[in-house]
């Protein structure tokens, strides 16, 4: 048996984390309204399925496009062999316009600074290859998307050092946390090349304030580092305070004479990652992008994109769709409305179960839910116990905070945009019953199937339930 | 770790010598340092022997270091025809300290600096020049004709017709497909490809390879083109600093796929015109043992069959010998078979998979790369295949495929197209016929100009011997001829040096990007250069 590379045989890809295990369990027993009503409901996948009808109606109105026709002439020949890693110019233009539109046209993007990649997964990895040597590190605020442990580290050899955030200030980054993380890296003999933030945040579902973005820019300027802003959820912001891109803050600093010199220095160290997987709900299309004003990064990333080019068919299709400004305007606002409505549904459903979530949640396809009060003890073991119960007994796959490297046990990410309203309601019912039952039985381990009791519980259970719920809602009111 | 970039064969062609000055200056400063540091200690007595010696020594050391770095930075001119990249990311790449034109103190990675540099390989330079001044029959008749990219335009009309017939208002082209809706293709799909596409591709590969071997869809990982397939295999089969043996001349793109990010070296195994550039196992043995002597760990052999750029097909005998060799040394074989369907000669293509069927051999060491860019002319759609019998490799490649997944609507479209077996059969036959027509005519015209081509049975190019036209008989002469073709006759062809060919004067000319009717035009342009070479000699 020949040896394989250490990469092929090692286990550092983080695929064993609960994030992926939950997914696997779901695949084995997926919920289906008709075929498998007791199956596991997937609430761990941040997919946006709320606005497919808008995409479909556009396709129906524009049948020429999927047929590779433009003005009744076939353009198939041009596309069949188009493999230029610079990307289809019309698509890049349409994409940067779309990105600008999402940002309220407060910033403009230059198509020459955009690199197309097969999804944001590929974009993030490529940026790591471009900005850091193997063994160097990036700082990431916790909690963060579990996939980063794989995408940023696996083939690149780059390390992640967490910036510890906690619930005392709704998990925002603080100056001291940044410095602490930097010190920690030094202790581990790791040279830090930059900071990577997801804004809006996954899994928190919150946008970063101008103040925090300024803080980050000051930090990277001071420490001679890069800043990567993963803005793949930028189009999913559904309520105030609204989305502020790091590019907008950079622009403001440039205009502010006091800061303009400093800002000129850091312009080529700020890189934005984008994707159509969340905003347009098209993860299967594999469309991602890197935006950077650093010529070396753009040149290198462009060539590296050979390893993950977007198919010309997809580029063409999307250039037509995103080039339809009427469509994009309507899509962006309608999509946000639907997300807002759906989030409200989830939040109120959770509240009925006596569960609260991050009150600053104004974006994303998920809520950052507080289940600390349901833990047997304030430990990650208890969190895992609770997660398993919710997965196997309640039949909901949600993502535990530990898989996102959260410092406090008891937080979970619950997605709301990848299922129908009915399914969401059912999930909330199940959860409510579980919470009620677990209170009644006085412990978190119940042998009987909770799902069977979802339709009704005994009077005594109901009494205890309402008392307990009352206690929790009043606590919740204090938080809000 | 020792790294070498010189070819192992002592009779290697003249290449620009690496400037000796950088190494001598560094050796001066190190020997200088060795002398001066102890002296400093002796001379200084004040402030305590320790402090008195330490501080000035330290200062002096840092000064030397700074000067050494500056000197190396200026003394490494890029060698214009050297396609082996000057520095690998992990070695002492002091030459790449400052990013081009940037005064930023914040560095990007060494890899980025290396990759971002303009390509010095003539293969890529040629492609660059064409893109700036591309030939167009009506718009730009004096532009550069692209004969340096193995794109097959001969049968696009057939595919175009299929697309028009089948894609009326539908994204995917299957008339009985209930899921014409976005719902079917928008959500996350398995990274390593849709099951239906894997099945369609396994049938297609079987059709392409003459029905002599079956492919199992569960042994496949799909990637966005053959390019990431090779990179992923490199990550799986070798560690940074290891090497693959590769017969020359080889496809210039291998350097990117194998070296850039996986950091695997390519050790050339030189093939000769006397053998029609066929692989010689003795040469393979030699290259392997020389690598071992240098302390380089060889993890596998990378072959392209049918070969690019020569176009010859490896015989079953050679494949058997290769397998024996790999077995004996306990290494892998990566067989890039992307041109399997583009055969035209009398030699029949035999896939290495077919050989494995018939012999008791450890199949887990063989990995096949395939794709639709050549045989189906769909380079823009990015469809590639890793086919392996090794379950660990498949498992690892599956995870890595998330960085190179194929767009879902494209997967559906291609699966639909491949399932139209009648169309595919007609396409494959017509394609082979048209390639043969153009090839035969082209080679005939070239021979009338006195240019002989290597015997080839597949691919989209001919491997032409222009050694008679170059003066001197060296890489320099070859470069000058290439420049003449580019500027005088405005055609882009790929010189052998870009493919690491050991004999100067050979050029790869792709003929499938022009139509049969355009051949006289191209031949005329080539004739111009031939005449000018003959008259100047």
3-state secondary structure string across B452-510: EECCCCECCEEEEECHHHCCCCCHHHHHHHHHHHHHCCCEECEEHHHHCCCCCCEEEEE
Token couple for B264: 């695997």
Residue pair B83/B475 in contact by the 8 Å Cβ criterion = no
pLDDT at residue A292 is higher than 90: yes
Instruction: Specify the pLDDT at position B120.
Output: 85
- Residue A89 at interface with chain B, using a CB cutoff of 8 Å: no
Q: Chain A: residue nearest B169 by CA?
A: A63
Instruction: Specify the pLDDT at position B14.
Output: 39
Token couple for B131: 């893109």
How confident is residue A2, by pLDDT bands cut at 50, 70 and 90? low
Alpha-carbon distance of A165 to B247, in angstroms, equals 54
How confident is residue B41, by pLDDT bands cut at 50, 70 and 90? very low
Q: Chain A: residue nearest B104 by CA?
A: A265
Q: Does ipTM surpass 0.85 in this model?
A: yes
Using the beta-carbon criterion (under 8 Å), do B407 and A83 form an inter-chain contact? no
Instruction: Specify the pLDDT at position B371.
Output: 96
Instruction: Specify the pLDDT at position A1.
Output: 42
Alpha-carbon distance of A469 to A22, in angstroms, equals 28
Q: Which residues pair with B12 in a beta bridge?
A: none
**How would you classify the pairing of strands B461-465 and B220-223?**
unpaired
Neighbours of B275 (CB within 10 A): 11
Integer CA distances (angstroms), B165 to A21, A188, B162, B168, B169, in order: 44, 62, 5, 7, 11
Whole-number average pLDDT of chain B: 83
Laid out side by side, the sheet with A270-275 consists of A114-117, A288-292, A270-275, A226-230, A192-198, A137-141, A159-163
Q: Which residues of chain A lie closer than 8 angstroms to B106, CB-CB?
A: 224-226, 269
Residue pair B230/B369 in contact by the 8 Å Cβ criterion = yes
User: Which of A40-54, A271-285, B15-29, B151-165 has the weakest average pLDDT?
Assistant: B15-29
Alpha-carbon distance of B224 to A274, in angstroms, equals 19
Instruction: Specify the pLDDT at position B119.
Output: 84
Q: Which residues of chain A lie closer than 8 angstroms to B185, CB-CB?
A: 284-285
Q: Nearest C-alpha of chain A: how many angstroms from B240?
A: 9
Q: Which residues of chain A lie closer than 8 angstroms to B164, CB-CB?
A: 67, 74, 76
Instruction: Specify the pLDDT at position B4.
Output: 38
**Burial group, residue B517, by CB count within 10 angstroms (0-12, 13-18, 19+):** exposed
Q: Chain A: residue nearest B364 by CA?
A: A1
DSSP states of A34-102: TTBTTSBEE-S-----TTHHHHHHHHHH-TTTTTTEETTEE-HHHHHT---TT--HHHHHHHHHHHHHH
- Residue A83 at interface with chain B, using a CB cutoff of 8 Å: yes
Q: Which residues of chain A lie closer than 8 angstroms to B396, CB-CB?
A: 4, 7-9
pLDDT digits (tens, 9 = 90+) for A253-263: 888 866 677 77
A437 as an active site residue: the answer is no
Max intra-chain CA distance, chain B: 94
Query: What residues of chain A, 141 to 160, have a C-beta less than 8 Å from chain B?
Result: 150-151, 154-155
Query: What residues of chain A, 2 to 31, have a C-beta less than 8 Å from chain B?
Result: 2-9, 13, 15
pLDDT at residue A11 is higher than 80: no
Integer CA distances (angstroms), B378 to B159, B325, B373, B488, in order: 9, 35, 5, 32
Determine the distance from the C-alpha atom of residue B91 to the mean position of all C-alpha atoms in its chain, rounded to a whole number: 22
Q: Where are the beta strands (DSSP E) in B238-319?
A: 243-248, 265-270, 298-304
Q: Which residues contact A320 (CB under 8 A, 6 or more apart)?
A: A62, A65, A94
Neighbours of A12 (CB within 10 A): 12
A355 as an active site residue: the answer is no
- Range B398-405 average pLDDT: 96
Q: Which residues of chain B lie closer than 8 angstroms to A3, CB-CB?
A: 299
What kind and span of H or E run contains A140? strand A137-141
Using the beta-carbon criterion (under 8 Å), do B403 and A306 form an inter-chain contact? no
Phi, psi (deg, nearest 5) at residue A160: -115, 130
- Residue A404 at interface with chain B, using a CB cutoff of 8 Å: no
Using the beta-carbon criterion (under 8 Å), do A52 and B167 form an inter-chain contact? no
Token couple for A387: 């997660």
Smallest CA-to-CA distance from A178 within A225, A232, A231, A135 is with: A225
Residue pair A202/A171 in contact by the 8 Å Cβ criterion = no
Alpha-carbon distance of A163 to A142, in angstroms, equals 6
Instruction: Specify the pLDDT at position B535.
Output: 82
Smallest CA-to-CA distance from B354 within B346, B363, B345 is with: B363
Number of Cβ pairs closer than 8 Å across A and B?
A: 247
Q: Which of A19, A26, A31, A145 is catalytic?
A: A145
Q: Nearest C-alpha of chain B: how many angstroms from A229?
A: 17
Q: Which of A151, A230, A259, A279 is catalytic?
A: A230
Q: Which residues pair with A32 in a beta bridge?
A: A36
pLDDT digits (tens, 9 = 90+) for B361-392: 789 999 999 999 999 999 999 999 999 999 99
Q: Nearest C-alpha of chain B: how many angstroms from A377?
A: 36
User: Which of A280-294, B6-20, B55-69, B171-185 has the weakest average pLDDT?
Assistant: B6-20
How confident is residue A66, by pLDDT bands cut at 50, 70 and 90? confident
Alpha-carbon distance of A70 to A352, in angstroms, equals 53
- Identify whether B529 is preceded by a cis peptide bond (ω within 30 of 0): no
Residue among B99, B231, B392 whose CB faces A8 most closely: B392
Using the beta-carbon criterion (under 8 Å), do A296 and B256 form an inter-chain contact? no
Q: Nearest C-alpha of chain B: how many angstroms from A309?
A: 7
Q: Which residues of chain A lie closer than 8 angstroms to B151, CB-CB?
A: 81
User: Which of A281-295, B127-141, B448-462 has the weakest average pLDDT?
Assistant: B127-141
Alpha-carbon distance of A397 to A45, in angstroms, equals 9
Residue pair B223/B406 in contact by the 8 Å Cβ criterion = yes
Smallest CA-to-CA distance from A131 within B119, B69, B255, B115 is with: B115
Q: Which residues contact A475 (CB under 8 A, 6 or more apart)?
A: A356, A373
Q: Chain A: residue nearest B256 by CA?
A: A304
Q: Which residues of chain A lie closer than 8 angstroms to B382, CB-CB?
A: 83, 309-312
Q: Nearest C-alpha of chain A: how many angstroms from B391?
A: 11
**Burial group, residue B106, by CB count within 10 angstroms (0-12, 13-18, 19+):** buried
pLDDT digits (tens, 9 = 90+) for B236-259: 999 999 999 999 999 999 999 999
**How would you classify the pairing of strands B265-270 and B298-304?**
unpaired
Residue among B106, B167, B410 whose CB faces A314 most closely: B410
Q: Which residues contact A464 (CB under 8 A, 6 or more apart)?
A: A436, A439, A440
Q: Which residues contact B489 (CB under 8 A, 6 or more apart)?
A: B525, B526, B528, B529
The residue ranking higher by pLDDT, A15 or B129, is B129
Residue among A2, A74, A132 whose CB faces B330 most closely: A2
Token couple for A263: 């800002």
Using the beta-carbon criterion (under 8 Å), do B235 and A2 form an inter-chain contact? no
How confident is residue B395, by pLDDT bands cut at 50, 70 and 90? very high
**In 3-state terms, what secondary structure has residue B247?**
strand
Residue pair B117/B101 in contact by the 8 Å Cβ criterion = no
Q: Nearest C-alpha of chain B: how many angstroms from A330?
A: 18
Using the beta-carbon criterion (under 8 Å), do A303 and B116 form an inter-chain contact? yes
Instruction: Specify the pLDDT at position B12.
Output: 39
Q: Which of A232, A332, A355, A450 is catalytic?
A: A232
A145 as an active site residue: the answer is yes
- Range A379-386 average pLDDT: 95
Q: Which residues pair with A41 in a beta bridge?
A: A396
Q: Chain A: residue nearest B165 by CA?
A: A67
DSSP states of B42-98: HH--TT-HHHHHHHHHHHHHHHHHHHHHHHHHHS-PPPTT--S-S--TTS--GGG-S
pLDDT digits (tens, 9 = 90+) for B85-140: 433 444 333 334 444 444 456 789 999 999 999 888 999 899 989 989 999 888 99
Whose structure tokens read 């995103």? A322
Neighbours of A471 (CB within 10 A): 12
Q: Nearest C-alpha of chain B: how many angstroms from A269?
A: 8
Instruction: Specify the pLDDT at position B73.
Output: 44
Alpha-carbon distance of B183 to B171, in angstroms, equals 12
Q: Which of A278, A389, A393, A432 is catalytic?
A: A278
Q: Which residues contact B51 (CB under 8 A, 6 or more apart)?
A: none
């Amino acid at each position: 048996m020949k040896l394989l590379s250490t990469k092929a045989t090692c286990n550092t890809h983080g695929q064993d984390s609960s994030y992926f295990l939950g997914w696997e369990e779901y695949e084995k027993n997926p919920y289906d309204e008709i075929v498998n009503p007791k199956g596991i409901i997937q609430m761990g996948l941040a997919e946006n399925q709320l606005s497919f009808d808008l995409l479909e109606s556009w396709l129906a109105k524009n049948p020429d496009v999927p047929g590779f026709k433009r003005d009744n002439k076939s353009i198939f020949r041009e596309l069949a062999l188009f493999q230029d890693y610079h990307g289809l110019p019309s698509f890049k233009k349409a994409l940067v316009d779309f990105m600008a539109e999402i940002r309220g046209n407060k910033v403009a993007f230059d198509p020459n600074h955009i690199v197309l990649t097969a999804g944001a997964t590929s974009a993030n990895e490529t940026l790591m290859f471009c900005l850091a040597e193997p063994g160097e590190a990036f700082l990431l605020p916790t909690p963060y998307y579990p996939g980063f442990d794989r995408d940023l580290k696996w083939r690149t050899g780059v390390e992640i050092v967490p910036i510890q955030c906690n619930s005392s200030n709704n998990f925002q980054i603080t100056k001291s946390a940044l410095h602490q993380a930097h010190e920690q890296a030094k202790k581990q003999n790791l040279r830090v090349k930059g900071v990577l933030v997801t804004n809006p945040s996954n899994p928190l579902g919150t946008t970063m304030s101008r103040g925090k973005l300024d803080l980050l820019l000051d930090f990277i300027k001071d420490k001679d580092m890069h800043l990567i802003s993963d803005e793949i959820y930028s189009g999913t912001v559904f309520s105030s305070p609204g989305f502020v891109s790091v590019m907008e803050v950079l622009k403001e600093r440039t205009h502010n004479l006091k800061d303009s010199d400093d800002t000129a220095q850091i312009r080529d160290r700020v890189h934005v990652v984008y994707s159509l997987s969340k905003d347009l709900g098209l993860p299967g299309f594999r469309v991602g992008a890197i935006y950077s004003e650093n010529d070396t990064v753009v040149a290198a990333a462009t060539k590296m994109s050979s390893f993950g080019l977007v198919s010309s068919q997809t580029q063409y299709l999307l250039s037509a769709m995103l080039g339809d400004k009427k469509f994009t305007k309507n899509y962006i606002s309608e999509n946000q409305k639907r997300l807002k409505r759906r989030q409200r549904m989830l939040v109120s459903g959770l509240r009925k179960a006596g569960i609260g979530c991050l009150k600053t949640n104004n974006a994303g396809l998920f809520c950052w839910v507080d289940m600390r009060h349901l833990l047997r003890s304030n430990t990650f073991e208890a969190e895992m116990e609770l997660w398993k119960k919710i997965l196997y007994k309640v039949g909901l796959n949600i993502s535990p905070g530990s898989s996102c490297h959260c410092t406090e046990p008891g937080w979970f990410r619950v997605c709301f945009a990848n299922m129908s309203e009915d399914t969401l309601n059912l999930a909330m019912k199940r959860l409510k019953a579980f919470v009620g039952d677990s209170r009644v039985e006085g412990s978190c381990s119940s042998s009987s199937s909770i799902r069977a009791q979802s339709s009704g519980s005994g009077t005594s259970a109901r009494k205890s339930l309402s008392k307990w719920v009352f206690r929790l809602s009043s606590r919740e009111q204090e938080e809000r | 770790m020792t790294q070498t970039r010189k070819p192992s064969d002592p009779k290697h062609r003249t290449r620009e010598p690496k400037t000796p000055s950088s190494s001598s200056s560094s050796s001066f400063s190190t020997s200088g340092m060795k002398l001066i540091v102890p002296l400093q200690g002796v001379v200084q007595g004040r402030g305590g022997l320790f402090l008195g010696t330490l501080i000035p020594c330290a200062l002096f050391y840092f000064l030397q270091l700074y000067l050494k770095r500056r000197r190396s930075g200026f003394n490494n001119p890029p060698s214009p025809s050297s396609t082996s990249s000057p520095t690998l990311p992990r070695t002492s790449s002091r030459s790449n300290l400052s990013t081009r034109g940037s005064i930023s103190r914040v560095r990007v990675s060494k890899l980025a600096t290396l990759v971002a540099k303009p390509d010095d390989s003539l293969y890529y330079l040629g492609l660059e020049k064409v893109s700036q001044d591309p030939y167009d029959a009506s718009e730009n008749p004096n532009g550069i004709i692209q004969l340096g990219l193995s794109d097959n335009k001969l049968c696009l009309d057939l595919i175009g017709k299929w697309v028009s017939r089948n894609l009326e208002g539908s994204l995917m082209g299957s008339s009985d497909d209930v899921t014409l809706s976005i719902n079917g293709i928008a959500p996350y799909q398995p990274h390593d490809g849709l099951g239906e596409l894997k099945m369609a591709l396994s049938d297609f590969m079987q059709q392409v390879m003459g029905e002599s071997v079956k492919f199992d869809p569960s042994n496949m990982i799909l990637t966005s083109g053959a390019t990431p397939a090779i990179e992923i295999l490199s990550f799986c089969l070798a560690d940074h600093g290891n090497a693959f043996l590769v017969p020359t001349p080889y496809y210039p793109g291998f350097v990117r796929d194998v070296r850039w990010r996986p950091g695997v070296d390519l050790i050339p195994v030189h093939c000769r015109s006397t053998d029609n550039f066929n692989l010689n196992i003795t040469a393979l043995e030699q290259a392997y043992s020389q690598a071992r002597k240098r302390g380089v760990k060889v993890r596998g052999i990378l072959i392209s069959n049918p070969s690019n750029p020569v176009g010859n097909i490896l015989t079953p005998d050679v494949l058997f010998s290769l397998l024996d060799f790999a077995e004996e040394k306990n290494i892998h074989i990566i067989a890039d078979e992307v041109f399997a369907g583009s055969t035209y000669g009398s030699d029949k293509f035999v896939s290495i998979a077919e050989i494995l069927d018939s012999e008791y051999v450890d199949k887990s060491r063989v990995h096949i790369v395939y794709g639709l860019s050549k045989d189906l002319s769909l380079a823009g759609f990015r469809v590639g295949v890793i086919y392996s019998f090794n379950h660990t490799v498949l498992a690892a490649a599956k995870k890595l495929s998330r960085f190179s997944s194929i767009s879902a609507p494209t997967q559906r479209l291609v699966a639909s197209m491949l399932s139209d077996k009648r169309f595919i059969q007609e396409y494959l036959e017509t394609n082979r016929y048209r390639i043969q027509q153009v090839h035969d005519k082209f080679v005939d015209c070239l021979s009338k100009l006195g240019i002989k081509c290597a015997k080839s049975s597949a691919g989209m190019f001919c491997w032409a011997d222009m050694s008679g036209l170059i003066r001197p008989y060296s890489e320099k002469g070859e470069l000058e001829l290439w420049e003449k073709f580019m500027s005088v006759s405005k055609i882009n062809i790929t010189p052998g040096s870009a493919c690491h060919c050991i004999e100067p004067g050979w050029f790869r000319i792709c003929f499938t990007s022009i139509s049969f009717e355009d051949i006289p035009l191209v031949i005329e342009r080539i004739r111009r250069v031939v005449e000018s070479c003959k008259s100047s000699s």
